[in-house]
């Protein structure tokens, strides 16, 4: 068990996963991931969430170390995604008198995930309901779509702890030596990016509570400088850019579109000290590229024409942006084509379905290779990007 200390009564019982190749079957996690879980020891004992099924035995051992033979009274179920809910059945089997506590939306999900019907052992809570454990009192706040519809968070009133479900989580196991922001940002936009309005609603509720500690379901327990994390969440969920800067996302069949993208980066660097980041979306982590698109206030997409449309990896990137509600940005376009350039028009068509996107015109067309005339177009695009 990670050596995590919260308080005399609130104990960490989560696990680190360094075995999983892809989180949710799609996101690389070079430093693993933590499935956090907690137990509050009081006159009545509450367990807050379980972990991924592959770590059931380790988690049950962590739990037993804290319970020391006592039977727990409540299992709080914040979120039904299997990385947190998979051991619920074993808990009900082990502790016949335990009461499961969940939102109304979680109950039907339990019937879908488990073959046993646990309804008779469940207590459904609504917004603002409380459960007294003794010195500690749990207050439940609904957080639908942060990140699934049944999600709720729990505010512990005595120690002023917010058990925040997926919110404020990050990729990376707890024993990973890395800063919070980068992997929290990649986690946020890829997991919750679509649900900015719902995250904003949760932040409004959070603002009404005096919070000293945030205990998420992934990533470290946050107990200092909480305004920093809340401020980041406010920026991210409002779809405002975090940094002034230009992110150039490109793909390239034979290196010519990549050369144009790099030439634009060089021109921008020569003209100003603005921050410029680039990514080859065919080779670099697309989840990181998506994060970088949200992070900066200006985006450039560079792609060749392929089969009469856009090179597929850029098509995919645009679909990722669309699915996460990418909006409120200025976008420059670079296309390449050797007989009938189409990628630019197709990229524009997709971007026009997004909210509040300003596409810089004219787009840059590379005719097979970068020439003096291409550099002139890139120079003009750079001027527009810097205006």
Question: Does 291 help bind ligand FEO (rule: CB under 6 A)?
Answer: no
Which residues ranging from 98 to 137 are in contact with ligand FEO (CB under 6 A)?
none
Bond preceding residue 362 cis, omega within 30 of 0: yes
Which CB, 206 or 366, lies closer to ligand FEO?
206
Question: How many chain residues are in contact with ligand FEO, going by CB under 6 A?
Answer: 8
Tell me phi and psi for residue 216, to 5 degrees: -85, 175
- Determine, following the binding rule CB under 6 A, whether residue 186 of this chain makes contact with ligand FEO: no
* 298 near ligand FEO (CB under 6 A): no
The residue within the footprint of ligand FEO, chosen from 79, 136, 186, 324 (CB under 6 A), is 79
Closer Cβ to ligand FEO, 218 or 295, answer by number:
218
Minimum distance from residue 331 beta carbon to ligand FEO (Å):
30
Considering only the stretches 80-88, 203-211, 256-264, 351-359, report the one whose residues sit in contact with ligand FEO under the rule CB under 6 A. Answer: 80-88
Contact 169, 187 (CB under 8 A): yes
Question: Which of 218, 298, 320, 329 forms a contact with ligand FEO (CB under 6 A)?
Answer: 218
Q: Which of residues 166-185 bind ligand FEO (CB under 6 A)?
A: 166
* Residue list 189-208, contact with ligand FEO (CB under 6 A): none
Q: Which is nearer to ligand FEO, 27 or 247 (CB)?
A: 27
Please state whether 223 falls in left (phi above 0), alpha (psi between -120 and 50) or beta.
alpha
Q: Which is nearer to ligand FEO, 84 or 298 (CB)?
A: 84
How many Å apart are CA 45 and CA 60, to the nearest integer? 15
The residue within the footprint of ligand FEO, chosen from 16, 49, 52, 83 (CB under 6 A), is: 83
CA distances for 86 relative to 55, 95, 362, angstroms? 9, 16, 53
Instruction: Supply φ then ψ for residue 181, to 5 degrees.
Output: -65, -45
Q: Which is nearer to ligand FEO, 85 or 365 (CB)?
A: 85
Q: β-strand 137-142 against 152-156: which pairing, if any?
A: antiparallel
Q: Is 17 in the site for ligand FEO (CB under 6 A)?
A: no
- Position among 11, 147, 185, 329 found at the interface with ligand FEO (CB under 6 A): 147
Binding to ligand FEO in span 319-338, by CB under 6 A: none
Query: Near ligand FEO by CB under 6 A, which window of 2-10, 37-45, 77-85, 352-360?
Result: 77-85
Please state whether beta strands 74-76 and 46-48 pair in parallel, antiparallel, or not at all (unpaired). parallel
Backbone angles phi, psi at 365, to 5 degrees: -115, 115
Burial of 170 (0-12, 13-18, 19+ CB in 10 A): buried
What is residue 336's three-state secondary structure?
strand
Cβ proximity to ligand FEO, 23 vs 247, nearer residue: 23
Which residue in the set 16, 81, 156, 183 belongs to the binding site for ligand FEO (CB under 6 A)? 81
> Do the beta carbons of residue 13 and residue 171 sit within 8 Å?
no
User: Using CA atoms, how far apart are residues 122 and 118, in angstroms rounded to an integer?
Assistant: 7
For β-strands 309-310 and 327-337, DSSP reports them as: unpaired
Structure tokens at 290: 């998506």
Tell me which of 11, 84, 136, 186 binds ligand FEO, using CB under 6 A: 84
DSSP bridge partners of 277:
247
Binding residues vs ligand FEO (CB under 6 A): 79, 81, 83-84, 147, 166, 217-218
């Amino acid at each position: 068990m990670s050596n995590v200390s919260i308080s005399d009564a609130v104990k960490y019982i989560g696990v680190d996963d360094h075995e999983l190749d892809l989180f949710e079957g799609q996101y690389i996690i070079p430093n693993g991931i933590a499935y956090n879980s907690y137990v509050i020891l009081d006159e009545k004992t509450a367990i807050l969430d379980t972990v991924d099924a592959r770590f059931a035995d380790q988690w049950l051992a962590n739990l037993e170390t804290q319970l020391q033979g006592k039977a727990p009274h409540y299992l709080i179920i914040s979120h039904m995604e299997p990385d947190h809910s998979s051991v619920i059945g074993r808990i009900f089997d082990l502790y016949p008198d335990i009461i499961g506590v969940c939102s109304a939306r979680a109950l039907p999900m339990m019937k879908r995930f488990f073959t046993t019907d646990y309804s008779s052992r469940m207590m459904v809570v609504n917004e603002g309901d409380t459960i007294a454990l003794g010195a500690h009192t749990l207050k439940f706040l609904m957080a639908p779509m942060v990140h699934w519809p049944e999600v709720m968070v729990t505010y512990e009133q005595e120690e002023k702890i917010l058990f925040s479900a997926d919110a404020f989580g990050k990729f990376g196991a707890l024993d990973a030596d890395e800063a919070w922001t980068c992997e929290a940002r990649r986690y946020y936009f890829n997991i919750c990016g679509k649900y900015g309005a719902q995250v904003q609603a949760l932040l409004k509720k959070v603002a009404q509570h005096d919070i000293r500690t945030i205990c998420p379901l992934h990533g470290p327990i946050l107990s200092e400088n909480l305004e920093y994390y809340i401020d980041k969440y406010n920026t991210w969920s409002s779809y405002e850019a975090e940094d002034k800067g230009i992110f150039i996302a490109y793909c390239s069949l034979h290196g010519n579109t990549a050369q144009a993208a790099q030439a634009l980066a060089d021109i921008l660097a020569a003209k100003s000290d603005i921050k410029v980041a680039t990514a080859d979306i065919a080779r670099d982590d697309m989840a990181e590229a998506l994060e970088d698109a949200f992070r900066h206030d200006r985006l450039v997409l560079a792609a060749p024409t392929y089969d009469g449309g856009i090179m597929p990896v850029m098509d995919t990137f645009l679909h990722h942006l669309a699915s996460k509600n990418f909006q409120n940005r200025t976008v420059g376009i670079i296309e390449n084509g050797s007989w009938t350039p189409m990628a630019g028009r197709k990229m524009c068509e997709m971007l026009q379905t997004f909210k509040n996107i300003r596409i810089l015109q004219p787009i840059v067309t590379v005719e097979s290779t970068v020439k003096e005339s291409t550099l002139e177009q890139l120079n003009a695009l750079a001027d527009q990007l810097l205006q």
